[in-house]
Amino acid sequence: DQHVAHERVLFDRLWNAGRVAEGPQPLLLPATVRVSRSEALALEEHRGLLEQMGFQAEPFGEGSYQLRAIPRALVGRNYQTAFADLLAELAEQSHGGQVQLQPEQVAAAAAGRSCKSAVKAGQPLAESEIVQLLADLRETDNPYTCPHGRPVFLTYSEAEVQALL
């Protein structure tokens, strides 16, 4: 399942970004991200975990943060949207910053972000993209399931395959 496989790859890259030797990717030009009050509270409450993931952000006036570094997994992707979506999920899960989330809950928010960013089931991929996805999947902590527990690999009987043809 290409969606589930890509979701696993993105999650592992995002979740492990701050733990690898390379660390986060500093941005040449910091990006300004607008945040709601509840997102700002969630960011401050979970700053340590966000930094472990590779996000480095500083307050930049009322309702804004400057994103100074991102997880290497987001290089070449829309990291501002990824960061904003992750903050929105953290704010929702922590009820506007009123509840301290456990690392597993922050991981769940990262999993949600990975799911939204992953290629879709049935989306055409070039052969080189398929080969790269499989190579990336081999490098993950758990290449058998997505962060939500869905299986990456499915087994079909010969009769089931024939029925599809």
Q: What is the mean pLDDT of residues 131-152?
A: 90
At residue 111, the 3 state secondary structure works out as helix
Q: What is the CA radius of gyration of the chain?
A: 18
C-alpha–C-alpha distance, residues 52 and 33, integer Å: 19
Could you report the per-residue pLDDT of 24-73, keeping only the tens digit for each? 889 999 999 999 998 998 898 888 888 888 899 999 999 999 999 998 77
Report the pLDDT value the prediction gives residue 9, as an integer from 0 to 100: 86
Q: Tell me the C-alpha to C-alpha distance, in Å, between residue 154 and each of 43, 75, 85, 87.
A: 38, 31, 30, 33
Q: What DSSP designation does 23 have?
A: -
When pLDDT is cut at 50, 70 and 90, the band that residue 103 belongs to is: low
Starting from the edge strand earliest in sequence, which strands make up the sheet with 56-59, in order? 25-34, 64-70, 56-59
As a whole number, the mean pLDDT across the chain is 83
Report the pLDDT value the prediction gives residue 49, as an integer from 0 to 100: 81
Q: What is the mean pLDDT of residues 77-83?
A: 81
Could you report the per-residue pLDDT of 133-143, keeping only the tens digit for each? 999 899 888 99
Instruction: List all residues 6 or more positions away from 41 whose beta carbon is below 8 Å from its beta carbon.
Output: 91, 94, 96, 97, 98
Q: Give the predicted TM-score (pTM) of the model.
A: 0.62
C-alpha–C-alpha distance, residues 61 and 18, integer Å: 26
Report the pLDDT value the prediction gives residue 19, as an integer from 0 to 100: 56
C-alpha–C-alpha distance, residues 163 and 30, integer Å: 53
